C-alpha cells in the first residue's frame, strides 16, 4: 500500500453558509465544490495553491461542530494573517516566536482550531 497525499480533512460546522463565508472571505480560500448530494451538502474549500482541502460538513450522528484541532496552515506572513483574522473577529493567540518558528493559533466560528505557521526559511 502506498499513500501519496492527504486529500481532504473534514471540519464539522453548525452552519455551512456561515462557515463558507469565513473560509472564503476571511481566510481567502477558494470554494472548490458546493453541491447538494441528497440530504447532504458537499462544501469543499482550500487555499488556492494546495492539493489538500477542507470539507465543511454538518456533523455526523455522534459528532459535534468544532472538533477539528491541530491542522497547521502555512503562511508567508503570519503577523499580517493574524491581524486580518483579528480584524474579522476571530479568536487569535499570537503570533509567538517558538523554537520551531513563528506561529499563531485561531479558531473558526464553530471552534475548529488551527495553527498558522510561517513557512520555514530554506537554506
Q: What is the pLDDT of residues 4-44, one digit of tens each?
A: 888 999 999 999 999 999 999 999 999 999 999 998 999 99
Question: What integer pLDDT is reported at residue 123 of this predicted model?
Answer: 47
Question: What integer pLDDT is reported at residue 4 of this predicted model?
Answer: 87
| Termini Cα distance of the chain | 33
Sorted by where each begins, the domain ranges of the chain are 8-60+67-118
Q: What is the pTM of this model?
A: 0.89
Q: What does the alpha-carbon distance between residue 45 and residue 28 come to, in Å, rounded to a whole number?
A: 10
| Of the options 3.40.50.2300, 3.40.50.170, 1.10.3720.10, 3.10.180.10, the CATH number for the domain spanning 8-60+67-118 | 3.10.180.10
Q: What share of the chain is helix, strand, coil (3-state, %, to 5)?
A: 15, 40, 40
Question: What integer pLDDT is reported at residue 112 of this predicted model?
Answer: 97
CB 92 within 8 Å of CB 38 = no
Amino acid at each position: 500500500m502506498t499513500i501519496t497525499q492527504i486529500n481532504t480533512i473534514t471540519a464539522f460546522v453548525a452552519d455551512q453558509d456561515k462557515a463558507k463565508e469565513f473560509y472564503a472571505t476571511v481566510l481567502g480560500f477558494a470554494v472548490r465544490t458546493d453541491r447538494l448530494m441528497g440530504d447532504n451538502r458537499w462544501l469543499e474549500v482550500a487555499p488556492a495553491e494546495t492539493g489538500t482541502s477542507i470539507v465543511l460538513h454538518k456533523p455526523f450522528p455522534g459528532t459535534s461542530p468544532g472538533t477539528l484541532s491541530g491542522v497547521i496552515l502555512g503562511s508567508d506572513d503570519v503577523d499580517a494573517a493574524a491581524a486580518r483574522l483579528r480584524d474579522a473577529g476571530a479568536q487569535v493567540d499570537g503570533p509567538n516566536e517558538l523554537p520551531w518558528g513563528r506561529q499563531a493559533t485561531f479558531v473558526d466560528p464553530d471552534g475548529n482550531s488551527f495553527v498558522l505557521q510561517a513557512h520555514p526559511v530554506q537554506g
